[in-house]
Each structure stands twice: as structure tokens, then as C-alpha cells.
Structure 1
Amino acid sequence: MFLKLVLICLCLQHLVGVFGSDPVWSVSVNKGESVTLNSDLTEMKNDDVIQWRFGYENTLIAEINVTADRFTVYDDVLDGRFRDRLKLDNQTGSLTITNTTLKHEGHYKLKIKSHRKNFHLTVIVKISVKEGDSVTLNSDLTEIKDDDLIQWRFMNEHTLIAGINKQVDRFTVYDDVLDGRFRDRLKLDNQTGSLTITNITTEHDGEYELEINSTRIYFFLTVIVSVTEGDSVTLNSRLTEVKDDDLIQWRFEYTLIAEINKQDDRFTVYDDVLDGRFRDRLKLDNQTGSLTITNITTEHSGCYKQEINFFRRTSFIRLTVYARLPVPVISSNSSQCSSSSSCSLVCSAVNVSHVTLSWYKGNSLLSSISVSDLSISLSLPLEVEYQDKNTYSCVLNNPISNQTQHLDITHLCHTCSGSIEI
């Protein structure tokens, strides 16, 4: 089985608190994407003066003077972090920030005459990594300042897993918490405060929070699991046991496919939904709430969502199902006897997708060809000398499996017969 952890989130906007006497609206956006801070105006009045400010230093970053018909962005302030990224709406005065980075995380203030509106923007990063590999959650700092206090939390259980107190020069990882799931896996960068998690497993998916002094950055990790058609896969709930008041729901895309209501002692699979693609394939673990899908097909590829007690804990798993690979076929590329000193061969595979077809001499790659979404036939030629004593093989592979055919030169490369296949 092969999996990736991917950072994902949904763009959210909701009331989270107050700034002075004014409410604060929370907005989140994926790093590199655009986000619009809405003024709530349908149109500006002739005498309106609108100002957008950033940070607790109250730095002016954009301004509209309707009377003077002046729309100005000050995108060179603050070391140019907003350069070529700010756009003002000529009708409403709303502000759009494009190609967001972690440096755009923070507090924004809109002032229209006596009216004020406050926003707090959270920027989220997307990362993918194979199981067993490492992932680094970057702080986006170039160096840690002398008075910095940095804390990393695994937010599923709101648990501190690493911290830096620069004033006392203390760098600490708490890798024995949470049943030791992070043991010997956490590394802090002494210069930037970034956190590396090594030897990734499915237990590490979830929400992470980085707090630098008063600034917070949130990371949402979701799991992409890849399996071969016909296999079974278990989507883990990460619970050791289901509590008496738990309500656990599993959804495929937006459709409810399984549910546990512990209060009513009800364990239900809805395997007739979606044209019956899950019929007789779903099994719930009565103790942990994990969901097993048996006899997987490509129809089961997609996003699965587990929700425990209505948003108290939510996790996402993206499942990719690959078709079983055929063994590639090596054949002579000529139907006639050859009088030359070389032999022309071709390796082929029929009706394949998301694969790479390659020729190897020993362990060295000679050539390759790939296909992604389309199901097509692939072929790859090779020229070898009749007396070549090297070992050759043709390999068909996708991200989770491979099929190999070895070349028998004496069988295929001769001067007295037509095309022969192995």
C-alpha cells in the first residue's frame, strides 16, 4: 500500500472574536491561491474614503478616494510582501490578495468613514509525502529572533509536540505524547523553527498548529491511500474505542455510506447508495469505528470523510485505486530474417493508464514512456547486438506495483525465423 499526506483545507469565513470593540471575521486560504476580503458594500458613495490596513502596526496597504477617483495600493510597504498581489474592486472597495504566502497571515482592518470591519487571515499550505518518507512543515522564518516563543501542536488532541524558547535557548520535542506516535520522528530546525516529521504513517494525519509569539498558522493533513483493484483497504478512525455518546459518520464525497450511533447501539452501512457500488463491500469495526472496503474497484476512488460528533473531529482520506498491471510483452520488431548484427525489439502493454513502461540494462534505465489518464496501448523499441551478454528487462509500473518481463536474447534474436513472443 502506498499513501500520501496532503495538506488541505476549506476556505472558511466566520466570526471569531473581537478586536478592541469591533468583531473579527476569520478567513482562511490555501497558500498560493487568492482570497477576497469583502467590504459588504454593494457600491461606494461619492464621498467615500476607504482604507485597508495590515497588522497590529496598522500599516496602510490600500486606499480609495471616490471624490478624487483615486484607487491606490501601497504594495511596496513591509519589505514588499504585497508587491503585485493587491487588487481593489472599483465598485465595492473589497480587497483581493493574490498568490498568498504565510507572510500575509495576520490582521486586516477596513475603515470606511466611521465604519470598521476586521479580518484575521489564515494561510494554509498543501504538502504531499509517501508513507515512510519525511515531511517538513515550514515556519517561513529565515531565522529565529532572540525573544521568539514557537510552539507546534497536534490539534486533533490539542497536544503540544514541539517548542522553542529562544530566550533560554531551549529546543524541545515532546515525542512521547499521544501513545508515542511521534516517538523518534520529530526534528526542529534550530535556525527557522520549522518542524520535520520522519517516517510518516496514517496516525500523523490531522490538524497542526504553529504559534509564533501571537501569530498562529494552521496545517490540515489528509491521507491519500493508493491500493490495487481487488484488494481491501481499512480507513482508520484513529480511535482506540468508541465512547458511549459517540456518533461517527463516514461519507464518500457527500454521500453517507456508514454510521455508528453508540447511544442507540446502531452500526449501519448504507451500501446500496450510489448505484450500489459499495454493495457487500463495507465493514465497520465495532470497537474503533474504522471502515473497511473489500474487493476494491476504480469506482471507489475519491474523497472519504470521517466525522465524529458533528465536527468535533473530522478527517479526510483520498483513495486512489489502480487497475492490476498486465505483464509486458517483448517481441521481435521484424517478421523477416535479419542479416544485420543487431536485433530490433519492442516491449508493449495493452489498455493501460497511469503507468510507465521502461527498458533496463541490468539496473540502469535505458528509456521509458508514460501515460496518465487515458487507457491506451504502449510500446517501446530497443536495439541490441546478437552477441550482447548483458541482461535486459522491460518493466511496467504504477505508483504502487510493477510487472517485469526479462529478455531472452537467444530466443528472440536470431537470423532464421520470424517474430516470436515471450
Structure 2
Amino acid sequence: MENVSLFVVFLFLNVVSDKRDGLEIVPVMKGDYVILHTDAAEIQKYHLIQWMFGNTVICTFNKTYQVPPILNKLEVDRDTGSLKIRSIRTEQCGTYNLQMISSTHTIQKRFNITIFDAVKSVSVMEGDSVTLESDITKIYDEIQFEYDDSIIAKISRAAQNFSTFDVPDGRFRHRLKLDNQTGSLTITNITNQHTGFYHLHIFNSRHTVHKSFVVNVCNVVKYITVKVGESFTLDTGVTDIQKYGQLLWKFGGNDTLVSKINGTHPVFSTHERFKDRILYHENGSLTIEDTRFEHAGSYRIEMSSSRNTLLKRFSVLVTGKIQKSHDLRGSQQDHFAAIIT
């Protein structure tokens, strides 16, 4: 299998509610729970509290009686009147209406629950194509793809229109193909410029679904050949190392830590195979001195900034002359060893 180096962008999502025109937007991850709060200080003064989903009454109660919620996933707090919805799925998304009626006034609140799917990671070789699947199973009103806060594709069923859009730096020019039947978006002839986070929003009259993709563009691994006793350098290729808060050098399939660098303060591995053999460079590169066969294998560096993490991979081949041995006829031969992972 061919080794690759990955350029990865990570997103940290902070979900909060947002009020728009009296409608409180409540985003939630699929499978999580959500609580819709009444914010009532004295719930006992209300003669009737009623929760509705769309036009359907799902729960009614007051201080003396309660009609049980129509779904097992619903719970109402008798002290606050707040509604808890467990294990959110697409069918629970939409608009919830609250009415609290007292002898002097009525309070009304509206919530719209929108769902976020888990982030899907997609890897693709540079120059190939990648498709971001919408996985649509129901009728939708509108579909919208975004990249770096810019809309790059949109489908409107009402207007019978589907379009793709470039971003200001032109990185998507002639590369986007939108399937107006499935709602999926294909990026062709992909490069490292297209790594990052993509958002998909699927709207219909009842609910909204949000999906997210992180696209990783893969390049061929860098191979290094070195003889026993010589040195080799793993080069980060970075000129502005100050923008990376942390650099991690790892070795082998078990990710043995070779070096951890925070700012300009490297901490080297205590593993016996690297002890007293590492030379650190200002750009985060490492030189392994007095190479032995045990230093052959795969190396990876993870360079993390506030916005993304850059990954590079190396594969080191160690060659050298080893002790002589006799074949079945008793003649002496020179043997050479090569190790690669």
C-alpha cells in the first residue's frame, strides 16, 4: 500500500441557540438530547401549559394534572415546564410552539430544532475527484454547500435552479459539479488548496439538516535512503514555524513519540532507539544521527496551529554491510540489509 501525507483541517463546533424574528434556532447533533426552556419563574400561576410540534399538541398540563407526552422520547419538567427531547433524529426536527396561559396574560415561544450530522472525513489523492454525498432520502426545498463561509453550490426546487459558485481566489473554477437529482457535490482535479471544512445545509418546510465534511488531500510520501552509521534529516519544509503552536514527530505503526515541540522548546523521546541521536533544527526539522537498522520505518509530523493541523509522512530505508556468513558450500559472502515500512 502506498504511504501518503495528509493535509488536514479540523473544526471545533460550539453549538448555541440563536433567535431570529421571535423564533429560537436550536442546533443539535444527531442522537443527542435537547431541552426547550420555558424560562418561567413561577410556573404555578399558569392555568395551562401546552407544547405543540407544528400543529400537533404533544403535551398539555397545569399544576393539578398532566396529559402524558405522545412520544416516549419526550419529558416535561413539572417544576419548570421545560420540554426535553431525547435521542434527536431528523423526524424530531422542526418548529415547537409553547403556550403558557394565566388569568392575566398568555406567553408564547417558538423553537426550531435543526440537526447536525457527525463530521465525515473524506480523503482523496491530489488530482483525483471527490464527491460530498448529501444522502437525501426525502423531498427538500433547498440545498446549499458552503466552504470557508462562501456559498459554492445551491439548489432551489421552487425556482427549478441549481448553480455552482467560485470563491474570490478562484480555487474552484471549472472544478465543481452539482447533481440536481441527488444533491451531491463533486470537486474535480483536487489540490491542496481544497483541503478544509465543507458545510451542507438541507432545508424543507418542516426542518433543517446540517452535514459537515473535512476533506484531506493526500500526496505521495517522501522516501529517504540512508546507510548504517550515517545521518538523515526529516525536513518539515516550513519557513514560518512560529504560527504552529505544537509539533509532534512520531515513529512507526504504534506512533512512538520522537519529539514534542511547543514553540521553541523541544522535548525529545526517551525511547532507547532515539536516545542521544536527535538534532533539532529551528524550522522543526529533525536529524537522526548514527543511524541503525532500528531507525528504518515510517515517520510522521503533526504541526498544529489555531486553525488547522498539517501532516507530513516519511519512509526511511536503511541499508548497510553486515557480518559475513557461510552458505551451504562454505563460501563467504557479503550480505546487505534493507528495511522499509
Q: TM-score range by the shorter chain?
A: 0.5 to 0.7
The one-letter amino acid paired with 2:50 is Q
Alignment of 1:103-122 (within 5 A): 103-113=91-101, 114-122=106-114
Q: 1:30 Cα shift?
A: 2.1
Number of residue pairs aligned between Structure 1 and Structure 2: 263
1:128 is the counterpart of 2:121: yes
Give 3-state SS (helix, strand or coil) of 1:305's partner.
coil
In structure 1, C-alpha distance between the alignment counterparts of 2:69 and 2:188, rounded to whole Å: 43
CA distance in 1, matches of 2:311, 2:79: 44
Contact persistence 1:65–1:71 (CA under 8 A):
no
- Cα 1:41–1:139 shift into 2, 3 Å: farther
Output one character per residue of 1:383-411: Cα deviation in whole Å (capped at 9) or x when no partner: xxxxxxxxxxxxx9xxxxx72xxxxxxxx
Equivalent residues in 2 for 1:324-343 (5 A)? none
1:60 corresponds, among 44, 57, 69, to 57
TM-aligned CA distance change 1:220 to 1:171, over 3 Å: closer
Q: What's 1:271 paired with?
A: 263
Measured after TM superposition, the shift of residue 271 of structure 1 is: 1.3
In the superposition, relative to structure 1, how do residues 294 and 193 fare at CA in structure 2: closer, same or farther (>3 Å)? same
Give the secondary-structure state (helix, strand or coil) at the position aligned to 1:45. helix
Report the CA distance shift for 1:156/1:65 in structure 2 as closer, same or farther (over 3 A).
same
Residues 335-368 of structure 1: CA deviation (Å, up to 9, x unaligned): xxxxxxxxxxxxxxxxxxxxxxxxxxxxxxxxxx
**Alpha-carbon displacement from aligned partner over 1:231-252 (angstroms, at most 9, x marks no partner):** 527699xxxxxxxxxxx97666
Instruction: State the match for 1:13 in structure 2.
Output: 16
1:163–1:223 distance in 2 versus 1, CA, 3 Å: closer
Distance in 2 between the 1:170 and 1:235 partners?
Answer: 46
Superposition pairs of residues 15-164 of structure 1, within 5 angstroms: 15-19=18-22, 24-41=23-40, 44-45=43-44, 49-54=48-53, 57-68=54-65, 70=66, 72-75=68-71, 84-113=72-101, 114-125=106-117, 126-132=119-125, 134-138=130-134, 140-143=136-139, 148=141, 150-159=142-151, 161-164=152-155
What percentage of aligned pairs have identical amino acids? 28
Contact 1:3 1:223 in 2 (8 A): no
Contact 1:3 1:131 in 2 (8 A): no
The alpha carbon displacement at 1:205 in A equals: 1.8
TM-score (norm: length of structure 1): 0.46
Q: CA RMSD in A?
A: 5.0
Q: Which amino acid aligns with 2:122?
A: V
Counterparts of 1:136 and 1:43, CA distance in 2: 49
The residue correspondences of 1:209-220 to structure 2 (distance < 5 A) are 209-210=200-201, 212=203, 217-220=209-212
The aligned counterpart of 2:178 is 188
Q: Relative to 1, partners in 2 of residues 1:9 and 1:270: Cα closer, same or farther, differing over 3 Å?
A: closer
1:232 maps onto 2:224 in alignment: no
2:136 alignment partner AA: D
Q: Which amino acid aligns with 1:115?
A: I
1:120 partner amino acid:
N
Matched, 1:208 2:199: yes
SS at match of 2:88: coil
Q: 1:73 to 1:275 in 2, by over 3 A?
A: farther
1:99: Cα distance to partner? 3.0
Q: Any gaps of 5 or more consecutive residues in structure 1?
A: 76-83, 237-247, 253-268, 284-292, 307-315, 328-395, 397-401, 404-422
One-letter identity of the residue aligned with 1:13: V
TM-score w.r.t. the length of structure 2 is: 0.55
